[in-house]
Amino acid sequence: MNRFIYADNAATTRLLPEVLEAMMPYLTDEYGNASSLYGFGQESRIAVDRAKDEIAACLHCRADEVFVTSGGSEADNWAIKSAAAMMAAKGKKHIISTAFEHHAVLHTLDALKKEGFEITLLPVYNNGIVKTDDLKAALREDTALVSVMFANNEIGTLQPIAEIGAICREHGVWFHTDAVQAVGHVPVDFAAMNIDFLSLSAHKFHGPKGVGALIIRKGIRIPNLIHGGAQEKGRRAGTENTAGIVGMATAMKLACNNMDNVNASLCQKRDRLIRELTGGIVRSRLNGDAEKRLPGNINISFEGIEGESLLLMLDMRGICASSGSACTSGSLDPSHVLLSIGLPHAIAHGSLRLSLSEETTDEDIDTILREVPVIVQRLRDMSPLWETILKSENQ
Ligand SMILES: *Cc1c(COP(=O)(O)O)cnc(C)c1O
Protein backbone atom coordinates (compact mmCIF):
# COMPACT_ATOMS: atom_id res chain seq x y z
CA MET A 1 0.00 0.00 0.00
CA ASN A 2 1.15 3.49 -0.80
CA ARG A 3 1.43 5.96 2.02
CA PHE A 4 0.04 8.57 -0.32
CA ILE A 5 -1.66 9.10 -3.66
CA TYR A 6 0.90 10.00 -6.29
CA ALA A 7 -0.69 12.16 -8.97
CA ASP A 8 2.42 13.96 -10.22
CA ASN A 9 3.68 11.59 -12.90
CA ALA A 10 4.47 14.45 -15.27
CA ALA A 11 7.18 15.51 -12.79
CA THR A 12 8.62 12.02 -12.43
CA THR A 13 7.45 8.43 -12.13
CA ARG A 14 8.12 5.44 -9.91
CA LEU A 15 10.82 3.06 -11.13
CA LEU A 16 8.97 -0.17 -11.94
CA PRO A 17 10.18 -3.28 -10.09
CA GLU A 18 10.67 -5.09 -13.43
CA VAL A 19 12.90 -2.24 -14.56
CA LEU A 20 15.00 -2.37 -11.40
CA GLU A 21 15.30 -6.11 -11.83
CA ALA A 22 16.61 -5.70 -15.39
CA MET A 23 19.12 -3.09 -14.16
CA MET A 24 20.39 -5.01 -11.11
CA PRO A 25 22.99 -7.24 -12.81
CA TYR A 26 24.72 -4.16 -14.24
CA LEU A 27 24.75 -2.46 -10.85
CA THR A 28 26.29 -5.55 -9.24
CA ASP A 29 28.17 -8.47 -10.81
CA GLU A 30 28.12 -7.39 -14.47
CA TYR A 31 30.16 -4.27 -13.82
CA GLY A 32 32.46 -4.65 -16.83
CA ASN A 33 33.11 -1.55 -18.93
CA ALA A 34 31.03 -1.75 -22.10
CA SER A 35 33.96 -0.32 -24.03
CA SER A 36 36.50 -2.94 -22.86
CA LEU A 37 37.60 -5.65 -25.22
CA TYR A 38 37.67 -8.68 -22.90
CA GLY A 39 34.70 -11.00 -22.59
CA PHE A 40 33.57 -9.60 -19.23
CA GLY A 41 33.04 -6.11 -20.67
CA GLN A 42 31.33 -7.63 -23.67
CA GLU A 43 28.31 -8.57 -21.56
CA SER A 44 27.78 -4.88 -20.90
CA ARG A 45 28.38 -4.03 -24.56
CA ILE A 46 25.77 -6.57 -25.61
CA ALA A 47 23.30 -5.15 -23.08
CA VAL A 48 23.83 -1.58 -24.33
CA ASP A 49 23.46 -2.63 -27.96
CA ARG A 50 20.32 -4.64 -27.19
CA ALA A 51 18.89 -1.67 -25.31
CA LYS A 52 19.39 0.58 -28.33
CA ASP A 53 17.67 -1.99 -30.55
CA GLU A 54 14.70 -2.02 -28.17
CA ILE A 55 14.52 1.78 -28.05
CA ALA A 56 14.71 1.93 -31.85
CA ALA A 57 11.87 -0.58 -32.18
CA CYS A 58 9.61 1.49 -29.89
CA LEU A 59 10.34 4.80 -31.60
CA HIS A 60 10.58 3.57 -35.21
CA CYS A 61 14.10 4.85 -35.60
CA ARG A 62 17.43 3.11 -36.23
CA ALA A 63 19.57 1.85 -33.35
CA ASP A 64 22.49 3.94 -34.64
CA GLU A 65 20.30 7.06 -34.39
CA VAL A 66 20.02 6.66 -30.58
CA PHE A 67 22.48 8.80 -28.60
CA VAL A 68 22.34 8.40 -24.83
CA THR A 69 22.27 11.54 -22.68
CA SER A 70 21.72 12.30 -18.99
CA GLY A 71 18.06 13.14 -19.65
CA GLY A 72 15.68 15.45 -21.44
CA SER A 73 17.32 18.77 -20.58
CA GLU A 74 20.66 17.65 -21.96
CA ALA A 75 19.06 16.27 -25.12
CA ASP A 76 17.16 19.54 -25.69
CA ASN A 77 20.29 21.64 -25.15
CA TRP A 78 22.43 19.44 -27.36
CA ALA A 79 19.99 19.33 -30.26
CA ILE A 80 19.13 23.02 -30.31
CA LYS A 81 22.62 24.42 -29.72
CA SER A 82 24.15 22.04 -32.28
CA ALA A 83 21.58 22.73 -34.96
CA ALA A 84 21.94 26.45 -34.31
CA ALA A 85 25.73 26.36 -34.58
CA MET A 86 25.69 24.26 -37.76
CA MET A 87 23.14 26.46 -39.46
CA ALA A 88 24.70 29.72 -38.32
CA ALA A 89 27.76 28.66 -40.30
CA LYS A 90 25.49 28.77 -43.37
CA GLY A 91 24.16 32.18 -42.42
CA LYS A 92 20.87 30.88 -41.01
CA LYS A 93 20.13 32.40 -37.63
CA HIS A 94 16.36 32.19 -37.25
CA ILE A 95 14.69 29.61 -34.99
CA ILE A 96 10.97 28.86 -34.68
CA SER A 97 9.53 27.38 -31.49
CA THR A 98 6.44 27.81 -29.32
CA ALA A 99 5.53 29.99 -26.38
CA PHE A 100 4.90 27.06 -24.05
CA GLU A 101 7.99 24.88 -24.40
CA HIS A 102 9.74 23.41 -21.38
CA HIS A 103 12.38 25.71 -19.87
CA ALA A 104 15.11 23.37 -21.16
CA VAL A 105 14.11 24.63 -24.61
CA LEU A 106 13.03 28.20 -23.81
CA HIS A 107 16.11 29.04 -21.76
CA THR A 108 18.37 27.52 -24.44
CA LEU A 109 16.64 29.79 -26.96
CA ASP A 110 17.19 32.77 -24.62
CA ALA A 111 20.90 31.97 -24.60
CA LEU A 112 20.98 31.75 -28.41
CA LYS A 113 19.15 35.05 -28.67
CA LYS A 114 22.00 36.68 -26.77
CA GLU A 115 24.33 35.20 -29.40
CA GLY A 116 22.42 36.96 -32.15
CA PHE A 117 19.79 34.40 -33.15
CA GLU A 118 16.30 35.59 -33.92
CA ILE A 119 13.57 33.56 -32.23
CA THR A 120 9.94 33.33 -33.35
CA LEU A 121 7.61 31.77 -30.75
CA LEU A 122 4.38 30.48 -32.28
CA PRO A 123 1.15 31.12 -30.34
CA VAL A 124 -0.67 28.09 -28.92
CA TYR A 125 -4.18 29.57 -28.58
CA ASN A 126 -6.79 28.74 -25.95
CA ASN A 127 -6.68 25.03 -26.66
CA GLY A 128 -2.90 24.80 -26.27
CA ILE A 129 -2.18 23.60 -29.81
CA VAL A 130 -0.02 25.25 -32.47
CA LYS A 131 -1.47 25.96 -35.91
CA THR A 132 0.49 24.67 -38.87
CA ASP A 133 -0.52 27.75 -40.87
CA ASP A 134 1.31 29.89 -38.33
CA LEU A 135 4.38 27.71 -38.80
CA LYS A 136 4.19 28.03 -42.60
CA ALA A 137 3.89 31.80 -42.29
CA ALA A 138 6.86 31.98 -39.90
CA LEU A 139 9.27 29.94 -42.06
CA ARG A 140 11.96 32.05 -43.75
CA GLU A 141 14.95 31.59 -46.02
CA ASP A 142 17.21 31.87 -42.99
CA THR A 143 15.23 29.55 -40.68
CA ALA A 144 17.72 27.17 -39.09
CA LEU A 145 15.49 25.00 -36.94
CA VAL A 146 11.92 24.38 -35.82
CA SER A 147 11.50 23.07 -32.27
CA VAL A 148 7.98 22.12 -31.16
CA MET A 149 7.26 19.87 -28.19
CA PHE A 150 5.33 16.65 -28.79
CA ALA A 151 3.13 16.99 -25.69
CA ASN A 152 3.04 19.82 -23.20
CA ASN A 153 4.16 18.94 -19.68
CA GLU A 154 1.64 21.13 -17.88
CA ILE A 155 -1.57 20.95 -19.86
CA GLY A 156 -0.84 17.71 -21.74
CA THR A 157 -1.86 18.96 -25.17
CA LEU A 158 -0.61 16.96 -28.16
CA GLN A 159 0.83 18.89 -31.08
CA PRO A 160 0.40 18.05 -34.81
CA ILE A 161 3.90 16.57 -34.99
CA ALA A 162 3.49 14.58 -38.22
CA GLU A 163 2.15 17.66 -40.04
CA ILE A 164 4.92 19.86 -38.66
CA GLY A 165 7.50 17.26 -39.65
CA ALA A 166 6.13 17.12 -43.19
CA ILE A 167 6.18 20.91 -43.53
CA CYS A 168 9.74 21.16 -42.24
CA ARG A 169 10.99 18.37 -44.48
CA GLU A 170 9.33 19.98 -47.49
CA HIS A 171 11.05 23.28 -46.72
CA GLY A 172 14.38 21.63 -45.95
CA VAL A 173 14.37 22.90 -42.36
CA TRP A 174 15.47 20.72 -39.44
CA PHE A 175 12.78 19.73 -36.95
CA HIS A 176 13.47 19.02 -33.27
CA THR A 177 10.76 17.80 -30.90
CA ASP A 178 10.97 17.62 -27.11
CA ALA A 179 9.08 14.34 -26.76
CA VAL A 180 9.87 13.87 -23.07
CA GLN A 181 6.17 13.76 -22.10
CA ALA A 182 5.17 11.68 -25.11
CA VAL A 183 7.58 8.76 -25.28
CA GLY A 184 6.10 5.76 -23.50
CA HIS A 185 2.69 7.48 -23.32
CA VAL A 186 1.50 7.97 -26.90
CA PRO A 187 2.68 6.43 -30.19
CA VAL A 188 5.84 8.08 -31.53
CA ASP A 189 7.14 7.33 -35.04
CA PHE A 190 10.47 9.07 -35.58
CA ALA A 191 10.77 8.09 -39.25
CA ALA A 192 7.18 8.54 -40.42
CA MET A 193 6.81 11.85 -38.61
CA ASN A 194 9.86 13.29 -40.40
CA ILE A 195 11.60 14.20 -37.17
CA ASP A 196 15.30 15.11 -37.29
CA PHE A 197 16.00 15.38 -33.53
CA LEU A 198 13.91 13.92 -30.70
CA SER A 199 14.53 14.32 -26.95
CA LEU A 200 13.36 11.80 -24.35
CA SER A 201 13.93 11.02 -20.69
CA ALA A 202 13.60 7.66 -18.92
CA HIS A 203 12.26 8.90 -15.58
CA LYS A 204 9.07 10.17 -17.24
CA PHE A 205 8.03 6.60 -18.17
CA HIS A 206 8.94 4.58 -15.06
CA GLY A 207 12.63 4.31 -15.90
CA PRO A 208 15.58 5.58 -13.85
CA LYS A 209 16.45 9.25 -13.35
CA GLY A 210 19.53 10.73 -14.98
CA VAL A 211 19.33 8.93 -18.32
CA GLY A 212 17.64 9.86 -21.57
CA ALA A 213 18.43 10.09 -25.24
CA LEU A 214 18.64 12.34 -28.25
CA ILE A 215 17.57 10.59 -31.43
CA ILE A 216 19.48 12.12 -34.34
CA ARG A 217 18.46 11.35 -37.90
CA LYS A 218 21.11 9.38 -39.74
CA GLY A 219 23.23 11.59 -41.94
CA ILE A 220 23.18 14.60 -39.62
CA ARG A 221 26.65 14.96 -38.14
CA ILE A 222 26.21 17.20 -35.14
CA PRO A 223 29.20 18.49 -33.14
CA ASN A 224 30.50 16.38 -30.28
CA LEU A 225 28.97 17.32 -26.94
CA ILE A 226 31.63 15.72 -24.75
CA HIS A 227 35.12 15.07 -26.10
CA GLY A 228 36.92 11.96 -24.93
CA GLY A 229 36.45 8.30 -25.75
CA ALA A 230 34.55 6.76 -28.61
CA GLN A 231 31.25 6.23 -26.78
CA GLU A 232 28.11 7.31 -28.66
CA LYS A 233 30.23 7.43 -31.83
CA GLY A 234 32.48 9.99 -30.15
CA ARG A 235 29.63 12.50 -29.91
CA ARG A 236 29.20 12.12 -26.16
CA ALA A 237 32.22 10.51 -24.55
CA GLY A 238 32.24 8.79 -21.17
CA THR A 239 31.83 5.25 -19.89
CA GLU A 240 28.35 3.97 -20.70
CA ASN A 241 25.77 4.06 -17.92
CA THR A 242 24.96 0.42 -18.61
CA ALA A 243 22.34 -0.04 -15.88
CA GLY A 244 20.66 3.26 -16.75
CA ILE A 245 20.55 2.45 -20.45
CA VAL A 246 19.15 -1.03 -19.80
CA GLY A 247 16.59 0.49 -17.41
CA MET A 248 15.55 3.08 -19.99
CA ALA A 249 15.07 0.44 -22.69
CA THR A 250 13.21 -1.95 -20.40
CA ALA A 251 10.84 0.77 -19.22
CA MET A 252 10.24 1.94 -22.78
CA LYS A 253 9.56 -1.58 -24.03
CA LEU A 254 7.06 -2.18 -21.20
CA ALA A 255 5.37 1.16 -21.86
CA CYS A 256 5.13 0.59 -25.62
CA ASN A 257 3.83 -2.96 -25.28
CA ASN A 258 1.15 -2.02 -22.74
CA MET A 259 0.25 1.37 -24.19
CA ASP A 260 -3.18 0.58 -25.63
CA ASN A 261 -4.51 -1.12 -22.50
CA VAL A 262 -3.00 1.39 -20.12
CA ASN A 263 -4.30 4.34 -22.12
CA ALA A 264 -7.85 3.03 -22.41
CA SER A 265 -8.07 2.88 -18.64
CA LEU A 266 -6.16 6.13 -18.08
CA CYS A 267 -8.46 8.07 -20.41
CA GLN A 268 -11.47 6.84 -18.46
CA LYS A 269 -9.94 7.98 -15.17
CA ARG A 270 -8.81 11.27 -16.68
CA ASP A 271 -12.19 12.04 -18.17
CA ARG A 272 -14.01 11.14 -14.96
CA LEU A 273 -11.79 13.52 -12.99
CA ILE A 274 -12.29 16.30 -15.54
CA ARG A 275 -16.04 15.78 -15.75
CA GLU A 276 -16.68 15.59 -12.03
CA LEU A 277 -14.27 18.33 -10.96
CA THR A 278 -15.30 20.91 -13.57
CA GLY A 279 -18.95 19.82 -13.32
CA GLY A 280 -19.04 19.84 -9.53
CA ILE A 281 -17.07 22.99 -8.73
CA VAL A 282 -18.39 26.37 -9.93
CA ARG A 283 -16.03 28.71 -11.75
CA SER A 284 -13.59 25.99 -12.68
CA ARG A 285 -12.30 25.16 -16.15
CA LEU A 286 -10.20 22.60 -17.95
CA ASN A 287 -6.95 23.96 -19.39
CA GLY A 288 -5.94 22.63 -22.79
CA ASP A 289 -7.86 20.68 -25.42
CA ALA A 290 -10.13 17.99 -23.96
CA GLU A 291 -9.37 15.40 -26.65
CA LYS A 292 -5.91 16.09 -28.01
CA ARG A 293 -4.23 15.57 -24.64
CA LEU A 294 -2.09 13.02 -22.86
CA PRO A 295 -4.13 10.16 -21.39
CA GLY A 296 -2.94 10.92 -17.85
CA ASN A 297 -3.12 14.72 -17.78
CA ILE A 298 -5.71 16.84 -15.97
CA ASN A 299 -5.16 20.59 -15.57
CA ILE A 300 -7.96 22.63 -14.02
CA SER A 301 -8.16 26.24 -12.83
CA PHE A 302 -10.36 27.20 -9.89
CA GLU A 303 -11.15 30.90 -9.65
CA GLY A 304 -10.57 32.68 -6.37
CA ILE A 305 -7.86 30.44 -4.92
CA GLU A 306 -4.08 30.06 -4.89
CA GLY A 307 -2.77 26.88 -6.46
CA GLU A 308 0.04 26.71 -3.90
CA SER A 309 -2.41 26.67 -0.97
CA LEU A 310 -4.40 23.97 -2.72
CA LEU A 311 -1.25 21.88 -3.13
CA LEU A 312 -0.27 22.25 0.51
CA MET A 313 -3.72 21.21 1.69
CA LEU A 314 -3.76 18.27 -0.73
CA ASP A 315 -0.35 17.28 0.60
CA MET A 316 -1.74 17.26 4.14
CA ARG A 317 -4.40 14.86 2.87
CA GLY A 318 -1.72 12.64 1.32
CA ILE A 319 -2.20 13.67 -2.31
CA CYS A 320 0.85 14.69 -4.40
CA ALA A 321 -0.05 17.03 -7.25
CA SER A 322 1.35 20.09 -8.96
CA SER A 323 0.22 23.60 -9.73
CA GLY A 324 2.26 23.97 -12.88
CA SER A 325 5.85 23.17 -13.50
CA ALA A 326 8.02 22.05 -10.58
CA CYS A 327 10.77 24.29 -11.90
CA THR A 328 8.81 27.46 -11.17
CA SER A 329 7.55 26.48 -7.73
CA GLY A 330 8.92 28.93 -5.23
CA SER A 331 8.42 31.74 -7.69
CA LEU A 332 5.37 33.96 -7.61
CA ASP A 333 5.05 34.24 -11.38
CA PRO A 334 2.22 32.18 -12.81
CA SER A 335 3.19 29.42 -15.20
CA HIS A 336 4.27 30.61 -18.67
CA VAL A 337 2.25 27.73 -20.12
CA LEU A 338 -1.04 28.88 -18.59
CA LEU A 339 -0.35 32.46 -19.63
CA SER A 340 0.42 31.26 -23.17
CA ILE A 341 -3.10 29.84 -23.53
CA GLY A 342 -4.54 33.19 -22.52
CA LEU A 343 -5.43 32.66 -18.85
CA PRO A 344 -5.44 35.89 -16.82
CA HIS A 345 -2.82 35.92 -14.04
CA ALA A 346 -5.38 35.53 -11.26
CA ILE A 347 -6.91 32.43 -12.78
CA ALA A 348 -3.58 30.93 -13.81
CA HIS A 349 -2.57 31.15 -10.14
CA GLY A 350 -5.41 28.87 -9.06
CA SER A 351 -4.48 25.87 -11.18
CA LEU A 352 -4.06 22.22 -10.36
CA ARG A 353 -2.26 19.62 -12.45
CA LEU A 354 -2.97 15.97 -11.73
CA SER A 355 -0.92 13.52 -13.78
CA LEU A 356 -1.93 9.89 -13.49
CA SER A 357 -0.09 6.67 -14.28
CA GLU A 358 -1.05 3.03 -14.77
CA GLU A 359 -0.57 2.69 -11.01
CA THR A 360 -3.37 5.17 -10.22
CA THR A 361 -6.37 3.22 -8.91
CA ASP A 362 -10.09 3.96 -9.02
CA GLU A 363 -9.92 4.37 -5.23
CA ASP A 364 -7.27 7.06 -5.74
CA ILE A 365 -9.64 8.87 -8.11
CA ASP A 366 -12.48 8.53 -5.55
CA THR A 367 -10.27 10.07 -2.88
CA ILE A 368 -9.19 12.96 -5.11
CA LEU A 369 -12.81 13.61 -6.07
CA ARG A 370 -13.76 13.67 -2.39
CA GLU A 371 -10.92 15.91 -1.21
CA VAL A 372 -10.50 18.55 -3.94
CA PRO A 373 -14.00 20.12 -3.78
CA VAL A 374 -13.84 20.39 0.02
CA ILE A 375 -10.43 22.03 -0.05
CA VAL A 376 -11.36 24.41 -2.87
CA GLN A 377 -14.44 25.48 -0.89
CA ARG A 378 -12.43 25.97 2.29
CA LEU A 379 -9.87 28.11 0.45
CA ARG A 380 -12.59 30.15 -1.22
CA ASP A 381 -14.26 30.76 2.13
CA MET A 382 -11.02 32.39 3.30
CA SER A 383 -10.30 34.25 0.05
CA PRO A 384 -10.92 38.01 -0.35
CA LEU A 385 -10.58 37.45 -4.10
CA TRP A 386 -13.46 34.96 -4.06
CA GLU A 387 -15.57 37.42 -2.08
CA THR A 388 -15.00 40.03 -4.81
CA ILE A 389 -15.96 37.53 -7.51
CA LEU A 390 -19.19 36.67 -5.67
CA LYS A 391 -20.07 40.35 -5.17
CA SER A 392 -19.56 41.17 -8.84
CA GLU A 393 -21.70 38.15 -9.71
CA ASN A 394 -24.57 39.40 -7.56
CA GLN A 395 -24.60 42.90 -9.00
C1 LIG B 1 10.83 16.62 -17.61
C2 LIG B 1 10.94 17.33 -18.90
C3 LIG B 1 12.16 17.76 -19.41
C4 LIG B 1 13.44 17.60 -18.65
O5 LIG B 1 13.85 16.25 -18.59
P6 LIG B 1 14.97 15.83 -17.52
O7 LIG B 1 15.28 14.41 -17.85
O8 LIG B 1 14.35 15.98 -16.17
O9 LIG B 1 16.14 16.73 -17.74
C10 LIG B 1 12.19 18.38 -20.64
N11 LIG B 1 11.06 18.57 -21.33
C12 LIG B 1 9.86 18.18 -20.89
C13 LIG B 1 8.64 18.41 -21.71
C14 LIG B 1 9.75 17.55 -19.65
O15 LIG B 1 8.56 17.18 -19.19
Cα 57-58-62 angle, rounded to 5 deg: 40
Length of the chain: 395
pLDDT of residue 253: 98
Of the pLDDT bands very low, low, confident and very high (cuts 50, 70, 90), residue 169 is: very high
Of 312, 316, 291, 288, residue with least CA distance to 300: 288
Single out the catalytic residue among 168, 267, 320, 327: 327
> Distance, CA 195 to ligand 1 centroid (Å)?
18
Q: Ligand 1: does its nearest atom lie under 6 Å from the Cβ of 208?
A: no
Atom 6 of ligand 1 has which residue's CA nearest to it? 72
Average pLDDT of the residues of the chain: 95
Percent of the chain topping pLDDT 70: 97
Tally Cβ neighbours within 10 Å of residue 62. Answer: 15
pLDDT for 162 beyond 90: yes
Nearest ligand 1 atom to the CA of 11 is: 1
Tell me the mean pLDDT in the region 230-244: 95
Convert the pLDDT of each residue in 296-351 to its tens digit. 999 999 999 999 999 999 999 999 999 854 444 556 688 999 999 999 998 999 99
Q: Ligand 1: does its nearest atom lie under 6 Å from the Cβ of 181?
A: yes
Nearest ligand 1 atom to the CA of 73 is: 9
Helix (H, G, I), strand (E, B) or coil at 388: helix
Convert the pLDDT of each residue in 43-99 to its tens digit. 999 999 999 999 999 999 999 999 999 999 999 999 999 999 999 999 999 999 999
What DSSP designation does 293 have? Answer: B
Told to judge if 256 belongs to the known catalytic residues of this protein, a careful annotator would answer no
Instruction: Let me know if 260 is exposed, middle or buried by CB neighbors in 10 A (0-12, 13-18, 19+).
Output: exposed
Nearest ligand 1 atom to the CA of 76 is: 10
Q: Ligand 1: does its nearest atom lie under 6 Å from the Cβ of 180?
A: yes
Convert the pLDDT of each residue in 251-293 to its tens digit. 999 999 999 999 999 999 999 999 999 999 999 999 999 999 9
CB 240 within 8 A of CB 68: yes
Nearest ligand 1 atom to the CA of 149 is: 13
> Distance, CA 49 to ligand 1 centroid (Å)?
24
Tell me the mean pLDDT in the region 190-208: 98
> Distance, CA 108 to ligand 1 centroid (Å)?
13
